[in-house]
Amino acid sequence: MMIQPMTQAAASSTPASSSSPVSAKDTSANYLQLLIAELQAQDPTSPLDPNQMTAQIVSLNQLDQLIQIRSLLQGVAK
């Protein structure tokens, strides 16, 4: 899978809005794209620390759970 670099024009054409809900699926997809790009671009003489990668995956799972809890609470509040 080839990941295309994001140009500054593309990044600025779609500003992030704090009012738009972020889904866990979107967050996971973005994280996986970044992880793949990071692994492809890493220096073979200094590979990525496995402990750091594990911590990132744990953080992603925590974020997914918080997003799911928030959506459930918003459903109950309505």
**CA end-to-end span of the chain:** 41
Residue 73, pLDDT score: 93
pLDDT, one tens digit per residue, over 57-69 is: 888 888 888 988 9
Instruction: Please state the pTM of the whole predicted model.
Output: 0.49
> Higher pLDDT residue, 10 or 54?
54
Residue 7, pLDDT score: 53
pLDDT, one tens digit per residue, over 8-19 is: 444 444 445 455
Nearest to 53 by CA among 68, 64, 42, 66: 42
pLDDT score of 30 more than 70? yes
